[in-house]
């Protein structure tokens, strides 16, 4: 008794998706073949198309189908400011605040020596080139406030300062609407140290 | 700020996979574009190929790339016995026991009125045709011993008996190696009712 080889191939290949083990790969393959062939065909096309078309912006490194993305081409933005984020999702969050009108650099990751993710993997060379274009004057570090995000910010900060650029970091502190009683002590300690004159 | 349309298309289409919500669709899409383009290309090809090639066996309804599957073409098997299972996986389990040498019919599901799964969805017409080929004399019901599997077995049993076929069902009882103390009361009750002379 043999499974058809194209079904075996599908099941094996589904395992390359993050979080899909052998059992669920088979479950998904059977589901698609039996109940959603249209979905399978569409997904097949979507994957092939995305691999062909999606590339990284020459300037900011985010995903785009063009050499340079729309954000980088937007002449309304302040080209002296360069905000460094970990992912396109983080960039979107900042855009939604409407508080920033400069440009971006998307690392597509964060430094994580334990996982073997070093400066090369977060495209530091590309960032150095980008920030050193002679127009950028301030690099705003908006990596996450996790251990890895902080380490990444620190590393980039040193690199940028060595090149004579002004570097800033999003402020840490008590979240808007946060009640002290429910905020962790580390955050309060940081807010106390970073307290500002009113 | 716009995501490239081929990436949006990929993210949307990934949501057609069972168990993949909007967040994980995006996570998977980013992962593939950034870390596993080869995997994405392969999976794209595997899906397209499977949709083109995988079909249902004309006789037993399992997945195959040919009009009739290898099992159905195996002349060593007893063509008077037809074992009805829910899935190809169940068929494989039975094959591994080496206790059955007849043929199969794979329902590709089970009756589940609450989910809108009726006789048509488990290919009952095809089963009736298959079992009525004049060669099959006994239909062995090997659907699961769940509520839905039992209901499915009952329904098929009535249909087959009405056509003059002998119908049997896998025996229920205490599992091999089972200690009574740890077996549920329903199973023991069933084993008691189905007790056999020794
Ligand atoms: Zn860009
Ligand atoms: Zn067959």
Distance CA A121, CA A57 (A): 16
Q: Does the pLDDT value for residue B187 go beyond 90? A: no
Categorize the per-residue pLDDT at B10 as very low, low, confident or very high, splitting at 50, 70 and 90: very high
pLDDT for B197? 65
Whole-angstrom CA distances from A57 to A47, A70, A127, B148 are 20, 9, 12, 53
Average pLDDT, chain B: 91
Model confidence pLDDT, tens digit, residues A119-164: 999 999 999 999 999 999 999 999 998 899 999 999 999 999 999 9
pLDDT for A186? 82
Distance CA A41, CA B13 (A): 10
Strand partners of residue B141:
B84, B169
Model confidence pLDDT, tens digit, residues B142-154: 999 889 999 999 9
Tell if the CB–CB gap between A47 and B43 is shorter than 8 Å.
yes
Q: What is the DSSP letter of B175?
A: P
Tell if the CB–CB gap between B24 and A28 is shorter than 8 Å.
no
Rg (CA), chain A: 22
Q: Which residues of B touch A121 (CB under 8 A)?
A: none
Categorize the per-residue pLDDT at B175 as very low, low, confident or very high, splitting at 50, 70 and 90: confident
pLDDT for B1? 67
Categorize the per-residue pLDDT at B97 as very low, low, confident or very high, splitting at 50, 70 and 90: confident
pLDDT for B192? 76
The per-residue b/e assignment along B148-181, b for 16 or more CB within 10 angstroms, e otherwise, is bbbebbebbbebbeeeebebebeeebeeeeeeee
In this prediction, residues B79-92 reach a mean pLDDT of 92
In this prediction, residues B17-40 reach a mean pLDDT of 93
Closest ligand, as measured to the CA of B74: 2
Selected for mutation to probe chain A from B2, B4, B25 (highest A CB count within 10 Å) is B4
In this prediction, residues B90-102 reach a mean pLDDT of 87
pTM of the model: 0.77
The DSSP-derived string for chain A is ----HHHHHHHHHHTTSTT--HHHHHHHHHHHHHH-HHHHHHHHHHHHHHHHH-EE-TTT--EESSSS-HHHH-TTSEEEEEEEESSHHHHHHHHHHT---EEEEE-SS--BGGGTB-TTTTTHHHHHHHHTSSS--EEEE---SSHHHHHHHHHHHHHHHHTT-EEEEPPPSSPTT--GGGS-HHHHHHHHHT----
Instruction: Give the residue ranges of chain A where pLDDT is below 50.
Output: none
Bigger pLDDT: B96 or A110? Answer: A110
Tell if the CB–CB gap between A88 and B30 is shorter than 8 Å.
yes
């Amino acid at each position: 008794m043999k499974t058809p080889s194209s079904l075996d191939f599908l099941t094996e290949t589904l395992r390359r998706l993050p979080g899909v083990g052998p059992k669920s790969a088979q479950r998904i393959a059977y589901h698609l073949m039996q109940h959603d062939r249209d979905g399978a065909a569409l997904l097949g096309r979507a994957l092939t198309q995305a691999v062909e078309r999606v590339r990284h912006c020459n300037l900011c490194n985010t995903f785009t189908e063009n050499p340079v993305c729309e954000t980088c081409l937007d002449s309304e933005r302040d080209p002296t400011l360069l905000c460094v984020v970990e992912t396109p999702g983080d960039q979107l969050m900042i855009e939604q605040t409407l508080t920033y009108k400069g440009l971006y650099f998307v690392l597509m990751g964060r430094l994580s020596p334990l996982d073997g993710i070093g400066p090369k993997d977060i495209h530091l060379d590309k960032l150095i080139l980008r920030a050193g274009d002679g127009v950028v004057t301030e690099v705003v570090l908006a990596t996450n406030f996790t251990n890895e995000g902080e380490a990444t910010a620190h590393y980039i900060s040193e690199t940028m300062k060595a090149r004579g650029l002004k570097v800033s970091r999003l402020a840490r502190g008590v979240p808007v609407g946060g009640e002290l009683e429910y905020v962790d002590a580390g955050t309060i300690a940081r807010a106390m140290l970073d307290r500002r004159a009113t």
